[in-house]
């Protein structure tokens, strides 16, 4: 059973090898069960040199965008190119535990859920652990997602056909969050494994690090999902409260 790991890469030449190795070195999977698709989104750093060690590895596909597409469209390009039954998302500066994919595929096969995520361990930009793990619920409904996004993109594994039904849209908002909402609204609850299979670097450059901008984007998501202003403000308040609990509780 092939799993396609999609890694959009921009300004991550110092980290990409670690991400790719963590995807290739997954345990308890049959041989040739993983393909890694690295998509260079016109990165200004020397991504070609960083990817040189993988050029003879048939499990790694290194693709260069002709123009800068942004992370959402770059992931979408990876989804379109995927040959696997499942797709998994990983950011170029993050990495996985070696038993991640096997554990998630087992849960997906057992539950037939449309999506599986995991907890994440947070690290400083240099990779140093900060001693904080963000948990995930075992079951995540559409209604619960409206109140707080408990699904880290870099931990997600989902059937390729479902990813291709929706893709990621509205990069000016929270494009991954919109996808999780669309999927759970149509197909029912996602499942989570409360183990920190994902190791996530905290970057000051992330668009969600600006709290005011993030709140505006979040409000935009609710409006996109068809909610009126009052209902959108209600969910935004709930989202903010849950966000404080998630990171500081």
Q: What is the pLDDT of residue 1?
A: 87
Domains held by the chain: number: 1
pLDDT digits (tens, 9 = 90+) for 151-191: 999 999 999 999 999 999 898 899 999 999 999 999 999 99
Residue 211: pLDDT band (50, 70, 90) is: confident
Q: 248 pLDDT exceeds 90?
A: no
Cβ contacts of 223-230, under 8 Å, gap ≥ 24: 224/170, 224/173, 224/178, 225/146, 225/178, 225/181
Q: Distances in Å between the alpha carbon of 90 and those of 16, 96, 249?
A: 10, 8, 26
Q: Are 152 and 91 in contact (CB under 8 A)?
A: no
Residue 204: pLDDT band (50, 70, 90) is: low
Residue 239: pLDDT band (50, 70, 90) is: confident
Q: How far apart are CA 232 and CA 199, in angstroms?
A: 32
Residue 32: pLDDT band (50, 70, 90) is: confident
Tell which residue, 37, 33, 35, 34, has the closest CA to residue 6. Answer: 37
Q: How far apart are CA 110 and CA 179, in angstroms?
A: 22
This prediction has a pTM of: 0.93
CATH code of residue 71: 3.90.550.10
Quote the domain boundaries for residue 11: 3-248
């Amino acid at each position: 059973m092939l799993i396609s790991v999609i890694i959009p890469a921009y300004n991550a030449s110092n980290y990409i090898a670690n991400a790719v190795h963590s995807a290739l070195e997954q345990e308890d999977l049959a041989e040739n069960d993983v393909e890694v698709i690295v998509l260079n989104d016109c990165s200004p750093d020397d991504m070609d040199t960083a990817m040189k060690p993988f050029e003879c590895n048939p499990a790694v596909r290194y693709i260069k965008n002709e123009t800068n597409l942004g992370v959402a469209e770059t992931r979408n390009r990876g989804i379109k190119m995927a040959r696997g039954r499942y797709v998994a998302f990983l950011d170029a500066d993050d990495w996985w535990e070696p038993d991640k994919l096997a554990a998630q595929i087992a849960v997906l096969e057992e539950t037939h859920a449309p999506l599986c995520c995991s907890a994440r361990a947070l690290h400083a930009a240099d990779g140093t652990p900060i001693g904080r793990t963000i948990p995930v619920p075992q079951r995540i409904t559409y209604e619960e997602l409206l109140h707080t996004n408990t699904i880290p993109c870099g931990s997600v594994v989902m059937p390729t056909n479902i990813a291709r039904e929706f893709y990621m849209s509205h990069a000016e908002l929270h494009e991954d969050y919109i996808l999780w909402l669309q999927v759970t609204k149509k197909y029912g609850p996602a499942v989570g494994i409360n183990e920190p299979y994902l190791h996530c670097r905290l970057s000051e450059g992330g668009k969600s690090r600006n709290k005011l901008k993030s709140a505006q984007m979040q409000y935009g998501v609710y409006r996109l999902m068809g909610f009126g202003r009052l209902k959108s403000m209600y969910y935004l308040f709930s989202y903010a409260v849950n966000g404080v609990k998630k990171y500081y509780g």
